[in-house]
Structure 1
Amino acid sequence: MGIDRTSEATWLETLAPRHRELLARVGDIADACAERADEYDRAVAFPGKDFDDLAAAGLNAATVPVEHGGLGLGPLHGDTLPLWLMTKQLAKADLSLGRCWEGHTNSLVLLDALASERQRARWFEGVVHGGEKWVAWSGEPQARKPGERTAFGTSITAVDGGWVLEGTKAFATSATGADRAVLLVNTAGPGGARHADGPAEGLLLLACDLSDPSVTVDESWWDPIGMRATASHVVTFDRTFLPAADVIGEPGAYLHQGWQSAFTPHYAASFLGAAEGAFDYALEYLLRQDRTADPYVQQRVGSMAVNIDTAHLWLAHVARLWDSGHRREARNAGNRARHLVEHLALETVEHCVRACGARSLVRPSPVERILRDLTFYARHDNDDHVLATIGRAALGHTHDSSFFKP
């Protein structure tokens, strides 16, 4: 008896041959990434070798336009599902890697959408030929955790030739690995995009060279239960000068054009990757332990299989909406997918643990890490607020489809 891979094969058959070849290359690299995941998790270290391998294989420029030397994937180029399936594969190997990869590729989508042609040529050159890694940082949470005396936040001041930034950002993904960051800062005061209450026009996007000595990383704050290898430390800006030439797009464009909603279903792709990692572990473990005749085990496996297929269907549906230019529908469907896939993924991991028992939670089992990582990453947006936003949209009420604010 062997493992039934019919469903996975069916998904691959729906893709163009070049996309199947691309995902096969990603899969080869993901196997090596999975071997390193435990090491990066224990060390709370950015998965630098993983990104080196992706760059060496010409995969790190996935969302860079073809005319600039990239693969031209993502919602701007009518090729969204292959990007999300790449993310799924990397997140299956290591959910922290999937999150860092999301931040990198989403940042490049923003540059492609909002940067000037001169900026795009300059920055995409660094990605394609220099292997540069990008992130986008907004996080300036005003709520404090126990023991914190001050909230995070930045202030920005206009000066001759640009802007001066001072203050701190938290949850700064890839802080010790990225080369450049898209900084979301608000002229109205602390809060970035997610935590600010000022007008949309106050939100600026600025590119920052993270090798600037005025930018420092505090690695003591980031000690979470999961997603440890995202290296999402606190970053301090000590009067960092950001030249006017590095301002991206018009003030408020990120909010007015709803770009956050393009990335919401991308999180779901990572959730699905984590779920697939648990599912594959369960299938192999149960077969090896000769436990496949147990009817309760069969029910658990059946539920996992249905969950995985359902998540794929939703991602494919949202991707088609983006690729066909139906942006309003894509935003609404993307929020629904993000909500549903979170629950499908968490349920799949629970089924895996129930079917395989406590040994699945003993290191170096990947399920132990998947459970921690997925539980933590699912907090990235408050699912209660996501679901309420879906309800407000269905009722025709005014709603925030990006950050799910009441």
Structure 2
Amino acid sequence: MKPILTLSNAHHLHERAAAFAKTASDAAESADTAGAIDAATWGAFHRSGLAMAAFPEALGGAGLSEGSRQSDLCMILRLVGAADLCFARLFEGHINAIALVCRYGTRAQMLSLADSVAEGALSAVWGADDAAGLAIKQQGDRSVLRGRKILASGAGLVTRPIVTAASPAGQMMCLLDLARHDNVDLSGWTPLGMRSTMTGAVELSGIGVGPDEIVGVAGDFMRQPHFSGGAWRFCAAQLGAMERLVELFREHLVARRRADDPYQLQRVAHCVASANTARFWVEEAARRLGASDHDAASTVAFANMTRMVTERCALEIMQEVQRGVGLVSFIRPNPIERISRDLSTYLRQPAPDLAMGDAARAWLASTDPVGEF
């Protein structure tokens, strides 16, 4: 394996994350315009050590995917989310993929992925299917994939994704090794925000899968509490963007000498309260998943409620900031315009009503006091 810096010290890791976040922030506007993150930013990402950080220290990482490091991961996701929510989305997916391989994969798979990432590869988790779905089929004496993945973030950039595929045994995870820009269709990615995530469809038919590619056993991908409980990670990235909006609001008011306006003061108070409310929930959701001091059902329920709280706080912040700043907040290149577009888009996560309903049912089925659930 290519040797890299081991980031064992939390303070050192945060310093490098903050330095990289400054680079990503400076490049965010041009990335949004181009619809892609440039090579210089990706180079800075790999040099920072963040690409390897989720691996165990023995493999050249910082153990960022381990339960005891979830608070550090939360801080870093907030930093990157404040800098560029598109990059944060890709980073979160990369972290998730590494965590899945470390949790369910073999030692050889962990080494293989670590070697690839150390050489500059990016990973991701591609789970969305079209109506036909992706499946593992028998072709002669070997198993191959049939179908494609849709809404695949980092399509054409990610070379070591985990993809979910149907099989006779159930849903399986496959760790692939792809060529860049191979069989990728980005033509349908024309969103309001999150433009530079390079999200599209990837045709995977014909790729062979065997013991080296199959990660874990059927059902591992959706195994709880990690499947739903891990939702706190994208909430942390969203939180970072929310916090940046509030800070930009403050900068605007101070620069315009409107910090004493009573109506603006009310908006500021609402924004700060909402940002900190979301932070309390996100940090606790991260702590619970890492500490395993709650049963799976309550951990998942808390994460689902964290999604709801984060969305509600984000919507309130965007409304208050946009009303307080006015038309300027809708005009490029004001960063409030881009961040609001990205956050509005990224908030649209799968099945929010189902998540909220499941959380409510879990509490109703429990006997815990509401303050201890």
Between stretches 90-99 and 376-385, larger displacement belongs to 376-385
Between stretches 291-300 and 310-319, larger displacement belongs to 310-319
Query: Residue type matched to 2:185 in 1?
Result: D
Q: Which residue of 1 aligns with 2:79?
A: 89
Q: Which residue of 1 aligns with 2:35?
A: 44
Between stretches 269-278 and 330-339, larger displacement belongs to 330-339
Mapped pair 1:56 → 2:47: yes
Asked if the contact 2:270–2:317 (Cα under 8 Å) also holds between the matched residues in 1, the reply is yes
Runs (4 or more) in structure 1 with deviation over 6 Å come to none
Mapped pair 1:140 → 2:114: no
Root mean square deviation of aligned Cα: 2.0
Q: Of 286, 292, 313, which aligns to 1:344?
A: 313
Q: Which residue of 1 aligns with 2:261?
A: 294
1:36-87 alpha-carbon deviations (Å, 9 max, x no partner) = 111111222145433321211212112111111101013x341101112111
1:263-304 alpha-carbon deviations (Å, 9 max, x no partner) = 211111011011012111111111001010101100111111
Mapped pair 1:227 → 2:227: no
Q: Which residue of 2 aligns with 1:368?
A: 337
Q: What TM-score, normalized by structure 1, do the two folds share?
A: 0.83
Distance 1:290 1:212 in 2: 50
Q: Residues 315-394 of structure 1 correspond to what in structure 2 (within 5 A)?
A: 315-326=282-293, 327-328=295-296, 329-394=298-363
Query: Residue type matched to 1:381 in 2?
Result: P
Distance 2:142 2:37 in 1: 31
Distance 1:239 1:141 in 2: 17
| Structure 1 residues not aligned, in runs of 5+ | 1-16, 143-151, 189-200, 398-406
Q: Residues 5-404 of structure 1 correspond to what in structure 2 (within 5 A)?
A: 18-46=9-37, 48-74=39-65, 76-127=66-117, 129-142=118-131, 153-159=133-139, 162-187=142-167, 201-211=169-179, 215-326=182-293, 327-328=295-296, 329-396=298-365
Asked if the contact 1:217–1:236 (Cα under 8 Å) also holds between the matched residues in 2, the reply is yes
Question: How far is the alpha carbon of 1:116 from its aligned partner?
Answer: 0.6
Aligned residue pairs, count: 357
Query: Residue type matched to 1:315 in 2?
Result: V
Q: 1:382 to 1:251 in 2, by over 3 A?
A: closer
Question: How far is the alpha carbon of 1:381 from its aligned partner?
Answer: 2.1
Question: How far is the alpha carbon of 1:175 from its aligned partner?
Answer: 0.7
Query: Residue type matched to 1:131 in 2?
Result: G
Q: Which residue of 1 aligns with 2:369?
A: none
Distance 1:356 1:162 in 2: 60
Distance 2:260 2:36 in 1: 41
Q: 1:371 to 1:212 in 2, by over 3 A?
A: closer
Classify the secondary structure of the residue corresponding to 2:215.
coil
Distance 2:162 2:308 in 1: 26
Q: 1:378 to 1:298 in 2, by over 3 A?
A: same
Classify the secondary structure of the residue corresponding to 2:179.
coil
Q: What TM-score, normalized by structure 2, do the two folds share?
A: 0.90
Distance 1:352 1:370 in 2: 11
| Structure 2 residues not aligned, in runs of 5+ | 1-7, 367-373
